[in-house]
């Protein structure tokens, strides 16, 4: 990165935990600062497109990769969205390493919560890793665009129904299965619920349609990995387009 004034940019390592779908082919990327164990959501004034997460044909920004980005300015909201950082859009994310399963478990143990409802009520963050008892149902819908919804139970027993999924990996995987006329729901639920380490990452949207936020499923996290290390770009290549 070189020595530069802190107000211009700050080279920062981030553990990626979310790559989610936005409108017009854009993505939202977020992760965890390993120095503070707080969530970080890098934002561009001009939005992030899919090219940001790629280096050639390789997906650099993927779950539990450590990447370096240049942070310019902390831009927290008063409520919920306290994780936002403006980043230098001229600095491509630099791959550092992919975490081992043991390192991932260490991260999850440090940041995970057991009661999503209680944490949201605090209004001091918009990103959560929730320890989960089970997924009850997962299904897709097709209206203006391909959608996936999830009903699940957190570790403390609270039920959350019909949360939309914006995780690009989950969306691309299910679209791939649907395109190939393969049943996915029962298998995905069984494999998730039988995994000893079950987490769902939740993100809150900005205020929309009269509500201060809407909850979204931004990743299904298991150790070992539910998707065998595959990325959303792998499945988008299989389906021949963006999900």
Question: By the 8 A CB rule, do 33 and 85 touch?
Answer: no
Residues ≥6 apart with Cβ < 8 Å to 214: 164, 204, 205, 208
Q: How confident is the model at residue 9 (pLDDT cuts 50, 70, 90)?
A: low
Within this chain, do residues 117 and 195 fall inside the same structural domain, yes or no? yes
Within this chain, do residues 223 and 129 fall inside the same structural domain, yes or no? yes
Q: Which of 45, 98, 82 is nearest to 204 (CA)?
A: 82
Q: Would you say residue 214 has pLDDT above 80? A: yes
Task: For 66-75, write each residue's pLDDT tens digit.
Answer: 999 999 999 9
Structural domain harbouring 51: 10-98
Within this chain, do residues 151 and 86 fall inside the same structural domain, yes or no? no
- CATH of residue 30: 2.40.50
Q: Would you say residue 3 has pLDDT above 50? A: no
- Strand-pairing partners, residue 26, are 49
Within this chain, do residues 63 and 18 fall inside the same structural domain, yes or no? yes
Tokens of 241: 């387009």
Within this chain, do residues 105 and 149 fall inside the same structural domain, yes or no? yes
Task: For 18-50, write each residue's pLDDT tens digit.
Answer: 999 998 888 999 999 999 999 999 998 777 888
pTM metric for this prediction = 0.93
- What is the average pLDDT value for the chain, to the nearest integer? 93
Residue where one domain finishes, among candidates 98, 128, 146: 98
Percent over 70 (pLDDT), the chain: 96
Residue 5 lies in a domain: no
Q: Residue 227 CB: number of other CB atoms within 10 A?
A: 19
Q: How many domains does the chain have?
A: 2
Task: For 163-187, write each residue's pLDDT tens digit.
Answer: 999 999 999 999 999 999 999 999 9
Within this chain, do residues 161 and 138 fall inside the same structural domain, yes or no? yes
Tokens of 119: 């944490």
User: How far is CA 75 from its chain centroid?
Assistant: 20
Residue 58 lies in a domain: yes
Residue 168 lies in a domain: yes
Q: Would you say residue 1 has pLDDT above 60? A: no
Q: Would you say residue 234 has pLDDT above 80? A: yes
Within this chain, do residues 123 and 68 fall inside the same structural domain, yes or no? no
Q: Tell me the C-alpha distance between 91 and 73, whole Å.
A: 15
Residue 1 lies in a domain: no
Q: Tell me the C-alpha distance between 198 and 220, whole Å.
A: 8
């Amino acid at each position: 990165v070189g020595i530069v004034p802190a107000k211009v940019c700050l080279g920062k390592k981030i553990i990626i935990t979310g790559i989610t779908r936005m409108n017009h082919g854009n993505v939202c990327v977020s992760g965890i600062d390993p120095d503070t164990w707080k969530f970080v959501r890098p934002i561009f004034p001009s939005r992030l497109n899919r090219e940001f997460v790629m280096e050639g044909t390789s997906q650099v920004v993927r779950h539990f990769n450590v990447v370096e980005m240049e942070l310019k300015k902390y831009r927290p909201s008063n409520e919920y969205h306290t994780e936002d950082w403006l980043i230098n859009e001229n600095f491509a994310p630099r791959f550092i390493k992919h975490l081992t399963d043991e390192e991932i478990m260490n991260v999850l143990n440090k940041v995970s919560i057991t009661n999503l409802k209680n944490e949201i009520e605090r209004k001091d963050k918009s990103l959560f890793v929730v320890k989960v008892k089970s997924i009850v149902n997962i299904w897709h819908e097709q209206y203006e665009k391909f959608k996936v919804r999830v009903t699940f139970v957190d570790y403390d027993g609270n039920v959350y129904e019909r949360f939309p999924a914006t995780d690009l990996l989950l969306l691309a995987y299910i679209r791939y299965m649907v395109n190939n006329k393969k049943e996915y729901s029962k298998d995905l639920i069984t494999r998730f619920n039988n995994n000893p380490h079950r987490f769902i990452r939740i993100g809150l949207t900005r205020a929309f349609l009269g509500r201060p936020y809407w909850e979204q499923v931004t990743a299904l996290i298991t150790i070992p990995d539910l998707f065998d290390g595959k990325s959303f770009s792998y499945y988008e290549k299989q389906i021949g387009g963006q999900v």
